Amino acid sequence: MRTTVDIVIYPGFKAIEAVGAINVFDYANTRLQQLGCEPKYALRIVGPQAGAIRSDTLVALDATQALAGRPPADVVVVVGARDILNVLAACEDIVDWCRTQVNRIQTIVGLCSGSFFLAEAGLLNGRRAATHWSVAELMRQRYPGTEVDADAIFVRDAHIWTSAGVTAVFDLVLAMVEEDLGRDIALSVARDLVVYLKRPGGQSQFSEHLLSQMTVHPRVRDIQDHIHRTPKADLSVKALAARFAMSERNFSRVFQKETGHTPSAYVEQTRLDAARRLLESGEQPLKWIAVECGFGSEARLRQAFQRRLNVTPGAYRERFASTGVDEAAGVA
């Protein structure tokens, strides 16, 4: 059975979010057709009015239908905007439409600052939600009844999904595809788009890899890249300082000043991130993961998970690993 999907746009919408969502759903359809199955998603672009609508870039998309006077799709995806407060004021009709139609929609999604439309319509009262980190505090102040998770890549609360900024659209929509069609289809789409399949909504927007891009000192960035590429190597302060051609004391001082972390804390967090990715994507033994990620032993891996995440590696895998659904599951 086909699932209808409305991508809701308006003047000033974020093009990358709208096009990103469309691509994930469309690539899933293509993969199904390659397997001899019928496409799952019937995509539509809708807006306050039908016609060409300019985005936040040079790109414009053609809304084939207007929101008013038509039944909603099974899935409604509202994309975000750079200047969300001005957009909200100019697009009250979208807010009203969300408020009146929510009970007729199976799944409603707010991408990035698009979650403000849902909050303004009262749909996020008493719910947990994500948004772009730069407007998270604004959302908290404006909608005190919403539990804003500024650190989550995406959040699902019942039939309402919300995401962090911009490219987090891929994480959220891939998770929806995995739920509908199974991990193999979602993974093949992720491979086609050359993005990671990141199902866990609890993952941080601020990974060590992203934070390392904010480091000013080029030699510190080189050290960070070395840590990320080789988590199982000798990453002791002594070894890193030698690579930096500095004394251990001076290296530690410079590194902490640039990154906000001690070298040992940064290394442990990077190794933890690597272990989390392996736990989410495969069934390798914990002992092997511990060695590959630089912990050395399963006991040290378990201690790091307990200390930083308050959960065991096994429990983390049970919560965040693939659903294991066969690739044609749910295909009608």
| Domain span including residue 216 | 208-320
CATH of the domain at 75: 3.40.50.880
Give the CA dihedral 179, 182, 188, 191, nearest 10 degrees.
Answer: 40
> pLDDT (tens digit, 9 = 90+) per residue, 73-116?
999 999 999 999 999 999 999 999 999 999 999 999 999 999 99
- Would you say residue 326 lies in a domain? no
**Tokens read off for 302:** 């378990």
C-alpha distances in Å from residue 108, one per residue of 114, 205, 235, 312: 11, 22, 45, 33
Q: Which of 193, 227, 256 is the last residue of a domain?
A: 193
Closest CA to 236 of 212, 217, 216, 262: 262
Residues 236 and 293 reside in one and the same domain: yes
Residues 139 and 17 reside in one and the same domain: yes
| Average pLDDT of the segment spanning 24-44 | 96
Phi first, then psi, for residue 169 (nearest 5°) are -55, -35
- Would you say residue 198 lies in a domain? no
pLDDT-based confidence at residue 201 (cuts at 50, 70, 90): very low
Residues 156 and 218 reside in one and the same domain: no
What's the number of domains the chain is made of?
2
Say if CB 120 and CB 177 are below 8 A apart.
Answer: no
- Would you say residue 253 lies in a domain? yes
Residues 32 and 162 reside in one and the same domain: yes
- Supply the DSSP string of 1-63, one letter for each residue: --EEEEEE--TTB-HHHHHHHHHHHHHHHHHHHHTT----EEEEEEESSSEEEEBSSS-EEEE
- Would you say residue 102 lies in a domain? yes
Residues 302 and 268 reside in one and the same domain: yes
pLDDT-based confidence at residue 211 (cuts at 50, 70, 90): low
pLDDT-based confidence at residue 141 (cuts at 50, 70, 90): very high
- For the entire predicted model, the pTM comes to 0.69
- Would you say residue 223 lies in a domain? yes
Residues 286 and 151 reside in one and the same domain: no
C-alpha distances in Å from residue 146, one per residue of 116, 125, 192: 11, 5, 36
Count how many Cα atoms sit within 13 Å of the Cα of residue 287 in the half-sphere of its side chain: 0
Q: Who contacts 1 (Cβ-Cβ below 8 Å, separation ≥6)?
A: 332
Residues 219 and 277 reside in one and the same domain: yes
**Rounded to an integer, what distance in angstroms lies between the CA atom of residue 281 and that of residue 183?**
10
Helix (H) / strand (E) element for 155: namely strand 154-157
Check residue 282 and give its pLDDT.
77
Q: Which of 167, 193, 219 is the last residue of a domain?
A: 193
Residues 32 and 160 reside in one and the same domain: yes
Residues 167 and 281 reside in one and the same domain: no
- Would you say residue 285 lies in a domain? yes
Residues 101 and 142 reside in one and the same domain: yes
Check residue 329 and give its pLDDT.
34
Q: Which of 193, 217, 252 is the last residue of a domain?
A: 193
Say if CB 236 and CB 268 are below 8 A apart.
Answer: no
Pairing of strands 160-163, 154-157: antiparallel
Q: What is the largest CA-CA distance in the chain?
A: 70
Residues 182 and 258 reside in one and the same domain: no
Closest CA to 12 of 63, 86, 65, 76: 86
Spell 127-152 as b/e; 16+ CB within 10 A means b. bbbbbbeebbebbeeebeebebbbeb
Which amino acid is residue 97, in one-letter code?
Answer: W
Higher pLDDT, 243 or 3: 3
CATH of the domain at 245: 1.10.10.60
- Would you say residue 99 lies in a domain? yes
Closest CA to 118 of 151, 53, 162: 162
Residues 149 and 12 reside in one and the same domain: yes
Say if CB 41 and CB 73 are below 8 A apart.
Answer: no
> pLDDT (tens digit, 9 = 90+) per residue, 145-158?
999 988 788 999 99
- Would you say residue 328 lies in a domain? no
Give the CA dihedral 199, 202, 207, 210, nearest 10 degrees.
Answer: 70
Say if CB 63 and CB 49 are below 8 A apart.
Answer: yes
